[in-house]
Amino acid sequence: MNSEEKNSSTENNLTTEKDSTTENNSAAESNETTDDGTMSLTEHLEELRSRLIKSLLAIAVGSCISYFFLDEIMKYLTLNVGKLYYMKPGEAFFTYIKIDIAAGFLIALPIIFYHAWRFFLPALTAAERLILGILVPSSVILFFVGLAFSFFLVLPVALKFFIGFGDENLQAMFSFGNYFDFVVMFMLPFGFIFELPLIIIVLGKIGILTSEWLKKYRRIVIFLSFVIGAIITPTPDIFTQSMIALPMILLYEVGYLVLKYILRK
């Protein structure tokens, strides 16, 4: 009996050790998977939720800061039209809130772009994460350049075109809320269009795009740039359309040159 008990005890110990080894190996494999940046769908959704919350908190803080500068912001917004009017009792109040949130969004833009790039590029190694130090400020700068280009160059031409339909019997009276909505919808596409080089570089880095592919479809891109310019701009003249198409073509070429001569893709 003693011999049988000893054998049984030995077998139990071996089984326990095997189970413990298996669990440790599974944990190690799980850690390796995490280190490699591979996550399950649930983990991806959880990370997305976390980054969205952090971005929204950044916008809230930015809105609190921008609240103290609303008068200065309004002076810039009305540069191209002068006096504005509100047609509904709550229009001015709610439009001020929208302006405050939009300004908070711009203030929080570095944080928003950081979380966006970290979510879409989760598999970067420790060394490659240094790329974020270039991507984030570049994204912010290009976005603001696009907004400034739209506001100071393209928007005045568009407003002049629309106001030109008036005469002595028909005068323009811009509603506060409608004017702000028009400005936002007009400027935002320019901010994202100016992100084109970074998008090309990132897609090239992960192997989706190559310089040969960009060269092959260059003519199509040039044609589509003028088509987009014709759609976005309200004026029919080629000059205004070129103000949109030429920057798009230039940004496309910048992405192509970086991909070919720097990344060697």
Which residues are 170's β-sheet partners? 167
Phi–psi pair at 219, nearest 5 degrees: -65, -40
Residues 14-60: tens digit of each pLDDT: 444 544 444 444 444 444 344 444 667 787 788 888 889 999 999 99
| Residue 89 scores a pLDDT above 80 | yes
Report the distance separating Cα 106 and Cα 195, nearest Å: 15
Eight-state DSSP code of residue 69: G
CB 87 within 8 A of CB 49: no
Report the distance separating Cα 99 and Cα 65, nearest Å: 12
CB 215 within 8 A of CB 224: no
Instruction: With CA atoms as reference, report the closest residue to 125 among 231, 61, 205.
Output: 205
CB 143 within 8 A of CB 58: no
CA 171 to chain centre: 38
Residues 110-140: tens digit of each pLDDT: 898 888 877 776 656 665 566 667 777 888 8
Instruction: With CA atoms as reference, report the closest residue to 242 among 147, 164, 157, 162.
Output: 157
pTM over 0.85: no
**In whole numbers, what is the pLDDT of the chain averaged over residues?**
78
